Amino acid sequence: MANRGVKPKSKVKLKWSASFAYAIGLLVTDGSLSNDGRHILLVSKDVEQLNNFLQALGNIKNKLSRSKSGYTGQYIPRVQFSDALFHRFLVSIGVTPNKTKTIGKISMPDEYFFDFLRGHHDGDGYFYSYFDPRWKSSFMYYLVFVSSSRAHIDWIRNRLKVFLGVWGHLTKDHRTAVHQLKYAKQEGFKILKRMYGDKKSICLSRKRLKIIEALGSIGKQL
């Protein structure tokens, strides 16, 4: 009988959970998959982000390293590891190599969508607030999701319409060809409550703190 060899094992437990969905959100925005069918890479200036990623995948053992940016020449922290089964799983749910402008829907259980979205926002999204001088005591705040793929940002928008009945406002930065999906005030607050309301959820602490402080200034709490 021919020796079939050892069945490959995954470093990552391939089971959906809140933490696992968060890690997928980070990968969609800040990660990449190699064309060799094995390697997964996540790059971030925030070391906390990389540690959160490893924790969300089940505290896999992997040392942080640094890679040189082709744009700035600076060395940026990263996580890279080899896992053929995880790579295959990612491709099966819609996360593919060279995904930046081609990514669309991500297949996942509905119950973990907002955990995924929190990872997505921690990766590439942003939040900002200001007082509008045109109106007295008018405090404005916006929650923004970003993607170079129109199909992907449309998918996020449609999911949020279904789950929360929010519409948002879609724009495109013609200098960078990046799509920006913005939610103001009450719509944004509905999403933030679902994304960051659980204090125990994994997240990038500086982003959550910024949101808490802005909302606190007008008497709102997550």
Tell me the pLDDT tens digit for each residue of 158-199.
999 999 999 999 999 888 889 999 999 999 999 999 999 999
When the candidates are 3.40.50.1480, 3.10.28.10, 2.60.120.10, 3.40.190.10, the CATH number that belongs to 18-100 is 3.10.28.10
Q: How many CB atoms lie within 10 A of CB 93?
A: 14
Domain ranges of the chain: 18-100, 122-216
pLDDT tier at 5 (50, 70, 90 boundaries)?
A: low
Four-residue CA torsion sign, 28, 31, 37, 39: negative
Confidence of residue 1 (pLDDT cuts 50, 70, 90): very low
- Please report, for residues 35, 52, 110, 193, 202, the alpha-carbon distance to residue 57 in angstroms, rounded to integers and kept in the order given: 21, 9, 19, 24, 11
The answer to whether residue 2 scores a pLDDT higher than 50 is no
Cβ-proximal residues to 152 (8 Å cutoff; 6+ apart), any chain: 28, 103, 104, 105
The mean per-residue pLDDT over the stretch 35-54 comes to 96
State yes or no: pLDDT of 16 exceeds 50: yes
CA distance 203 to 197: 11
Range of weakest confidence among 44-53, 102-111, 171-180? 171-180
The fraction of the chain above a pLDDT of 70, given in percent, is 94
The tokens describing 29, both together, are 């925005």
Q: Which fold has domain 122-216?
A: Endonuclease I-creI (3.10.28)
Q: Do domains 18-100 and 122-216 have the same CATH topology?
A: yes
Which residue from 153, 145, 149 is spatially nearest to 125, judged by alpha carbons?
145
As a whole number of Å, the end-to-end CA separation of the chain is: 62
Report the alpha-carbon distance of residue 164 to residue 98 in Å, rounded.
31
- Tens digits of per-residue pLDDT, 117-133? 999 999 999 999 998 77
Burial of 78 (0-12, 13-18, 19+ CB in 10 A): middle
What is the side-by-side order of every strand in the sheet holding 178-184?
A: 126-131, 139-147, 178-184, 169-173
Q: Mean pLDDT over residues 133-139, rounded?
A: 77
